Structure 1
């Protein structure tokens, strides 16, 4: 790690949960050097032991993969948190790669991590994979990573699960590229995974989602599962409402909020009156929601607008310029303007 002082200048909140806050920014010493800070000094006292337990796992993992192309570089660790290099790329749920070169490079990345005795353990989430501007693979978020001293059964099982989770991404975005061997691997979960799914995971979900009001899936799905049916019922009760899309966004010191996009010709005040703020914090009427060719809603695009991720939205529009006329009025009238911008 560099010995010179590194002064972090915050810019944009990327993610917030009970265990940390991830912020993009740059260095005072080099404004062109973009970095990311996992901030831990604002974590509630009751969550700090687990937050630092996860942070120590990330520190060990990042140190172990140092120098592997496609992994972040750990720059500094102090009481504020972990400072790492910025990983340039587009999350898989937005990039939706279909190039076989990407998946070959992703396997290369996992092989090199495996040689260092590292398993990531959290790459079932597409947001933890990136496609770089060069079309190569990168991974982020090493909070759950493990560094293994021995290459025993546990290591081999966890390494196999990393590969299987990569194949799940391949199945989601480029199913025609799957080989017969890969399809067989996808069909067979490891024995420890089957035990986890049947026993420990239900308890884990109960503790994290119900007792701690937190989800490891970006803190997103749970509020929609819990409050979504009532929101949809309240909004769809008006005949002028044609469709509804629900997204989530982080609220400073308040957890996760629901952002409702309502396809209707009704005015903003009328739509707002249909559902209480306790159910959906933000409600935006739109003339037309973005959809795929099969008619399904573009929840990936709406999620970017809900979280004010205009940088990622710009990247998506470069790939799909036909969306711009539809999205411009939605972006111009977006309601979450302050959550991610710190300066």
Structure 2
């Protein structure tokens, strides 16, 4: 199908909702023989519709410029309210956590430079969710709603491209700090002037609008709460006579902050409310899990350790990423049964949408 010709939405067969907010609903499904991702701006509220169309236009324009480039989605088709792009099977960076994988970041830098050579800057690479680790271990970039397309590489292009690179290097510093070159460290130490102005003025307003008015959330703050209470919470749960093992993950609240999600492998019957009270007695309210899901068996690695990466995907309702994760048949079967009874359904609702399209 030609990406420049309209694609009838009626021919799209939805499978699962990946994300929904006041600007679009993003759904995985099939368009003819192809597995694609649909961005639908049709059911958005009237007050957000102009910006929703603008964001979709930005993505469509960028993907057309990037046609044929590896490591980015390919535009399959588009019409006035729908955009269809190819599905990239991968795991978000914050879930994949490529610690020590210098080859990943070397290739990520190469692919980012290739994107810039096409005259495109992403503008949203600070989010780990916009970097994927594909099934073959290579990087990919997604979500081009904020991307800019340039005919010439003028001053503004160079500033924005510099910030794209700086954000990639921040991720490299998190996962491969010893691999940073002196030049890369210099880039990290020097923010561009527009960025310094933005950090001092506009970012606070942006956060207020996106988190409080638009109800966006990227899970910020979840790592700190998990780091502070995760190990102690697992230890407390495993001290309960009905709990054999426990794994705690974080998930984003609808507006801001993050919750703690406990998966507990039980010896027998276990009441989630009673387990929450058990934790509260020792750790107080901040260390009490928001959600407790008893399970028959946790997915494991070959040496018997719990598969925290798979359980984190379930906690954050990123079910589309489970198929891209490496797991043996037993672990995959266990995590699918856990996912079927998951307690966080936050990406399944879209207040402005058509209930008949929800899954």
> So what's the TM-score if we normalise by structure 1?
0.75
Q: 1:299, CA displacement in angstroms? A: 7.5
Q: 1:210, CA displacement in angstroms? A: 2.2
Q: Which has the higher contact order (CA 8 A, sep 6+)?
A: 2
Q: 1:284, CA displacement in angstroms? A: 3.0
Q: Contact conserved, 1:8 with 1:25, CA < 8 A, in 2?
A: yes
Q: Contact conserved, 2:53 with 2:81, CA < 8 A, in 1?
A: no
Aligned-residue CA RMSD (Å)? 4.1
2:29 to 7, 14, 25: 25
Distance in 1 (CA, whole Å) between partners of 2:172 and 2:64 is 28
Partner of 1:318: 327
Partner of 2:202: 200
Q: Contact conserved, 2:58 with 2:146, CA < 8 A, in 1?
A: yes
Distance 1:144 1:299, change over 3 A: farther
Q: Contact conserved, 2:250 with 2:315, CA < 8 A, in 1?
A: no
Partner of 2:283: none
Q: 1:308, CA displacement in angstroms? A: 3.9
Distance in 1 (CA, whole Å) between partners of 2:67 and 2:55 is 18
Q: 1:65, CA displacement in angstroms? A: 1.2
Asked if 1:306 corresponds to 2:315, the answer is yes
**SS of residue matched to 1:318:** coil
Distance 1:322 1:24, change over 3 A: closer
Distance in 1 (CA, whole Å) between partners of 2:358 and 2:257 is 18
Q: 1:10, CA displacement in angstroms? A: 0.6
Question: 5+ unaligned residues in a row in structure 2: which ranges?
Answer: 240-245, 281-288, 301-305, 349-356
2:16 to 12, 16, 20: 12
Q: Contact conserved, 1:25 with 1:34, CA < 8 A, in 2?
A: yes
Distance 1:117 1:194, change over 3 A: same
C-alpha offsets along residues 112-166 of structure 1, whole Å, 9 cap, x if unaligned? 2212211001111122112223332211100000112332221111101111111
Q: 1:309, CA displacement in angstroms? A: 3.4
Aligned residues: 317
Q: Contact conserved, 1:290 with 1:298, CA < 8 A, in 2?
A: yes
Partner of 2:56: 55
**SS of residue matched to 2:151:** coil
**5 Å matches for 1:46-125?**
46-97=47-98, 98-125=100-127
Q: 1:172, CA displacement in angstroms? A: 1.7
Q: Contact conserved, 1:248 with 1:306, CA < 8 A, in 2?
A: no
Distance in 2 (CA, whole Å) between partners of 1:52 and 1:83 is 14
1:126 to 117, 128, 148: 128
Q: 1:100, CA displacement in angstroms? A: 2.9
Distance 1:339 1:50, change over 3 A: closer
Distance in 2 (CA, whole Å) between partners of 1:78 and 1:255 is 33
C-alpha offsets along residues 20-64 of structure 1, whole Å, 9 cap, x if unaligned? 11111112x31xx21000111111111111111111111111111
> So what's the TM-score if we normalise by structure 2?
0.72
Q: Contact conserved, 1:117 with 1:148, CA < 8 A, in 2?
A: yes
Distance 1:246 1:68, change over 3 A: closer
